[in-house]
Amino acid sequence: MPRRGRRSASACSSCSRSLASPIPGSSRLADGSRTCSTRRDPVTEPRAYLDHAATSPMSAEVAAAYLEALQVVGNPASTHGHGQRASETLEEARAEIAAALGCDHAELILTAGGTESVNLGIKGLYWARRRAGAGPVILVAEGEHHATVEAAEWLRDTQGARLVWLPIDGAGRLTPDTLRSAIAAAGPDQVALLSFLWVNNEVGTIQPVAELCGIAADAGIPSHVDAVAALGQVPVDFARSGAAVLSVSAHKIGGPVGVGALVLGRRTTVDPILHGGTQQRGRSGTQDVAGAVAFAAAMRRAVGSDRHPTTAHTAAVTTLRDTLIAGIRSIDPEAVLRGPAPGPERAPGNAHFTFPGCQGDSLVFLLDAAGVSVSVGSACQAGVAETSHVLRAMGLPEDDAAGALRFTLSADTRAEEIERLLAALPDAIARARSAGLA
Ligand SMILES: Cc1ncc(COP(=O)(O)O)c(C=O)c1O
């Protein structure tokens, strides 16, 4: 792991977007480079935004709370009046976020986003466990987000960790039996930690979190759970999850980018990555009061007092998602829904299809030109398009994985956005298919 299938790609000369294959409608410049000439202005044109798993827009309500908090003067660590006021504002926000996540406020460490949380969760837990005498094995599910994959590989390459990748099945599930066998094979004493996604950010698979964490805990192994894609989609209750540490990020639910949290159970220790003023358990750095206030405001919109995503929101999102799935199936009977069937094992806001004979990034390009923002759901690093390591881990051949498109919705998604997608899709599929997989 992770086996990355690389495909050659050229990039738009004006915006660096990758253009994997010659798309009818893109213009070729005199120097042979191509540009997205048909793109519309995303600010002035009415568009459909179906990429909420990448980032979800900030509502006016959250933006107003953020703006107001940005004007609070004072470092919450200062002892004077300004500092105390900032500290009170911060702690109110922390308490609200913690309550929504089912943890105590003392267990909530604010971070600079999901990537930092995941890194601190995995590296910090690994170092602390090693110091306490645990072995070097890290159990990591296949198909994890790159924050986890890269953190785990860094520990392997520089810190002596031994990675054991846990296979996921064709729907993206990590099964309890797979975990039990891996623990038995490695030897429980040899395992420093387990890490897995609550909800897969590409195909929307919901893992049986409490069961998996329970199996690991029974063997004396702490679990890090990446709940970034779960927040706002399913109830995320730290106390009930059995996780030792859990990562979340604000911008996936309409909070600011660069704000996140690591929930660190009272009995769990992580060694810090950042050294400094030790403002929080395991994390140094002046705390972001406004970021915390905006995160709390976004949480209020996304999650009810019972820690469940607001029921009306979930019902509305599920209905729109199912309309989208039915529409795609009638437009292209060859398209295959990846991940679990719609139902309790699938995040309500996720639909993920592969379109045979098409490049996913061609479809993204063509839909973009028609005013619809979606994603292939896989990484694009240094201008090289890659097929999704998640789909590859689910057993898809490279060609099938190449035609991936991810559609992600939020409670703010409107029916017109789904209609716009479904109106643009037949032409996009026809043109992408004629361009093929070259
Ligand atoms: C599952 C998952 N984990 C971690 C991250 C990283 O979060 P952030 O963008 O806040 O750094 C993401 C972001 O896409 C994600 O989807």
The residue contributing the CA closest to ligand 1 atom 5 is: 114
pLDDT tens digits along 170-187: 999 999 999 999 999 999
* pLDDT at 107 > cutoff 70: yes
* pLDDT at 25 > cutoff 90: no
pLDDT tens digits along 307-326: 788 877 899 999 999 999 99
What pLDDT sits at residue 31?
35
Tell me phi and psi for residue 403, to 5 degrees: -95, 35
What pLDDT sits at residue 45?
66
What pLDDT sits at residue 84?
97
The mean pLDDT of 202-229, rounded to a whole number, is 98
pLDDT tens digits along 372-385: 999 998 655 445 56
What pLDDT sits at residue 46?
81
257 CA: nearest ligand 1 atom: 10
Instruction: Please state, rounded to an integer, the average pLDDT across all residues of the chain.
Output: 90
- Residue with token string 């829904």: 337
* pLDDT at 15 > cutoff 70: no
| Range with lowest mean pLDDT among 14-18, 72-76, 343-347, 415-419 | 14-18
Spatial distance between the Cα atoms of 328 and 309, rounded to a whole number of angstroms: 26
Both structure tokens of 333: 């009977």
* pLDDT at 3 > cutoff 80: no
* pLDDT at 246 > cutoff 80: yes
Pairing of strands 372-373, 380-381: unpaired
| Range with lowest mean pLDDT among 19-28, 61-70, 261-270 | 19-28
Spatial distance between the Cα atoms of 75 and 368, rounded to a whole number of angstroms: 43
pLDDT tens digits along 340-370: 999 999 999 999 999 999 999 999 999 999 9
| CB of 261 closer than 6 angstroms to any ligand 1 atom | no
- For residue 30, name the pLDDT band (cuts at 50, 70, 90): very low
The mean pLDDT of 44-58, rounded to a whole number, is 91
199 CA: nearest ligand 1 atom: 1
Could you tell me where the DSSP H helices lie in 257-397?
A: 289-302, 311-331, 360-369, 389-393
Pairing of strands 404-408, 350-354: antiparallel
What pLDDT sits at residue 379?
53
The mean pLDDT of 266-293, rounded to a whole number, is 95
* pLDDT at 101 > cutoff 80: yes
- Residues marked as catalytic: 380
pLDDT tens digits along 136-153: 999 999 999 999 999 999
pLDDT tens digits along 196-205: 999 999 999 9
Q: What percent of the chain has pLDDT over 70?
A: 88
| CB of 56 closer than 6 angstroms to any ligand 1 atom | no
29: exposed, middle or buried (Cβ count in 10 Å: 0-12, 13-18, 19+) = exposed
CA of 312 to the centre of ligand 1 (A): 26
Q: Beta-carbon neighbour count of residue 55 at 10 Å? A: 15
| CB of 228 closer than 6 angstroms to any ligand 1 atom | yes
| CB of 260 closer than 6 angstroms to any ligand 1 atom | yes
- The half-sphere exposure of 346 on its side-chain side, counting CA atoms within 13 A, is 22
